[in-house]
Amino acid sequence: MPDMESVTSLTAESSPAILLAEDDPVTRMLMTRFLKKAGYEVDAVGDGAEALDKMTKRYYPILVTDWEMPGMDGVALCKAVRNMQLDGYVYALLLTARDAKEHIIAGLEAGADDYLVKPVHERELIARLNAGRRILALEHSLRAANQRNRILSITDALTGAYNRRYLMEQLPREVERCRRYAYPLSVIMFDIDHFKLINDEMGHAAGDDVLQQFVARVQRSIRSNSDWIARYGGEEFLMVLPETEFKAGMFVAEKIRSLIGGSTFVTRVGDTPVTASFGVAATGPSGPDLLLKVEGLIKAADLCLYQSKQQGRDRTTGIEIANSMAMLANG
């Protein structure tokens, strides 16, 4: 299940960490002192190169940098920071003794958000940083909203599993990755037995309860950092198990089958027993053959699921697609 951990935590009330780049040791000490007094966490360095190195190791929402520094100056540092892939936006404040308009324009064009003419006055610096924090908070809110929209676009609203759109975008990438690195790959097609009967006898609301609890049980049984599940349609789901050989895929399917049938499902109109049928399709130990396509892998799992249902349901059927069988699986 996707989450929002990738969005850096930042609110208007928090005090973002500041990276201060200033070559003059006295100025650096004084600025560090009153920035800390204002409640900021401060890392101070003496030149642009050291600041850039710090940026590669940690995300600093605010950069305060002097223009005139030996080696990499503040303008070059701003340009370099704008070209980096970071966890969030960096608000860059450029300190300079140059107050000519062409210098100010050059600093802003290099990537600075604001500038402050030396000598720096404490209250003015804090006021400009507060303005920067408002910009950072707005940027964070926008990124969080975009992330929420992305999650909504790739997940099934009822169950929280990925949707079919995500499945058809991501599974081809997973097949190619396993092929490139010669990793095995297993997929499991499964659905709830006699689900129509549950809807007919208990109502669609109870059916929704079953679907939600069904996915929740499955998700608790898989590796959260690699395995994933998508709703293929109706009560049918597809699970993707990267770097998983056939025997391990069968083991996972059987474990989930036992978990589903091991206890009743609670619905708003009463408890009900639920079972599920499974079809496992796995590549050979060295990964997908060049002839094996995503459609063939899904079709193989679907055929195994069909066999499980034909044989009485509440069971698992599987197939390992060896290289010599890849063409047959695509047929």
In a domain, 129, yes or no: yes
Q: Are residues 70 and 131 in the same domain?
A: yes
In a domain, 12, yes or no: no
CATH number (domain holding residue 44): 3.40.50.2300
Which residues are CB-neighbours of 327 under 8 A, at least 6 positions away? 291
* 5 is known as an active-site residue: no
Q: Which of 100, 125, 152 is the last residue of a domain?
A: 152
Q: Are residues 174 and 299 in the same domain?
A: yes
Q: Which of 152, 183, 198 is the last residue of a domain?
A: 152
Q: Are residues 193 and 284 in the same domain?
A: yes
CB-CB neighbours of 36 under 10 Å: 13
* Amino acid, single-letter form, for residue 151: I
What is the count of structural domains for the chain? 2
- List, in sequence order, the alpha helices (H) in the chain: 25-37, 48-57, 74-82, 101-109, 122-154, 164-181, 195-202, 204-219, 246-261, 294-310, 326-330
In a domain, 324, yes or no: yes
What percentage of the chain's residues is helix, strand, coil (to nearest 5)? Answer: 45, 20, 30
In a domain, 159, yes or no: no
Element (H, E) at 188: strand 185-192
Q: Are residues 110 and 142 in the same domain?
A: yes
CA distance to 25, 111, 125, 131, 260, per residue, from 46 (Å): 7, 20, 19, 25, 61
Q: Which of 96, 118, 152 is the last residue of a domain?
A: 152
Q: Catalytic one among 22, 50, 174, 235?
A: 235
In a domain, 157, yes or no: no
In a domain, 188, yes or no: yes
In a domain, 8, yes or no: no
Q: Are residues 115 and 206 in the same domain?
A: no
Q: Are residues 147 and 228 in the same domain?
A: no
Q: Are residues 64 and 175 in the same domain?
A: no
Task: State residue 4's pLDDT score.
Answer: 41
Are the CB atoms for 207 and 195 separated by under 8 Å?
yes
Q: Are residues 182 and 80 in the same domain?
A: no
CATH number (domain holding residue 280): 3.30.70.270
Q: Are residues 200 and 266 in the same domain?
A: yes
Q: Are residues 310 and 224 in the same domain?
A: yes
Task: State residue 102's pLDDT score.
Answer: 82
Task: State residue 325's pLDDT score.
Answer: 52
In a domain, 293, yes or no: yes
pLDDT in tens, the chain (331 residues): 444 444 444 444 467 899 999 998 998 998 899 899 888 999 999 999 999 999 999 999 999 999 888 889 999 999 999 999 888 899 999 998 877 778 778 888 888 999 888 888 888 888 989 898 998 988 888 888 888 888 888 999 999 999 999 999 999 999 999 999 999 999 999 999 999 999 999 999 999 999 999 999 999 989 988 999 999 999 999 999 999 999 999 999 999 999 999 999 999 999 999 999 999 999 999 999 888 999 999 999 999 999 999 999 999 999 999 764 544 545 5
Q: Are residues 177 and 322 in the same domain?
A: yes
Q: Are residues 116 and 176 in the same domain?
A: no
> Domain span at residue 142?
18-152
Q: SS3 of 16, please?
A: coil
